Amino acid sequence: AQSVTQPDIHITVSEGASLELRCNYSYGATPYLFWYVQSPGQGLQLLLKYFSGDTLVQGIKGFEAEFKRSQSSFNLRKPSVHWSDAAVYFCAVASLGRRALTFGSGTRLQVQP
């Protein structure tokens, strides 16, 4: 069975600082990996996705993520955080045989001025 672990429940960073949110997955074959963001009162919005190819993927809002098969990780990064990035971030995995997403429990990002 596939699973996703987001070890950090809550992270606080200063505006302008860099950000890395951790995601580890468990799945036997090549996974399809996603990062979603959920802001208060908003639906889940896709930031970026990895299916195959280049292991460094670029997304919206200046986010990027790197797939590392050896570490079963798909960490999300942003070089300079903006106050509007405060939200809950979810990592998710899907598979060729099972299209439904398995989500991690999320990381809440707080941005200090």
Binding pattern for the stretch 23-42 against other proteins, x by CB under 8 A and - elsewhere: ---------x-x-x----xx
What dihedral do alpha carbons 76, 46, 85, 58 form, nearest 10°? 50
Q: Is-contact 16 80, C-beta < 8 A? A: yes
The reply on whether position 83 binds other proteins by CB under 8 A is: no
Among 28, 40, 43, 113, binds other proteins (CB under 8 A): 43
Angle at 81 between CA 79 and CA 85, to 5 degrees: 130
Among 1, 70, 100, 113, binds other proteins (CB under 8 A): 100
Neighbours of 76 (CB within 10 A): 23
Q: How far is the CB of 103 from other proteins (least distance, A)?
A: 3
CA–CA gap between residue 15 and residue 88 (Å, rounded): 16
User: By the criterion CB under 8 A, which residues form the site for other proteins?
Assistant: 4, 32, 34, 36, 41-46, 49, 51-52, 90, 92, 94, 96, 98-106
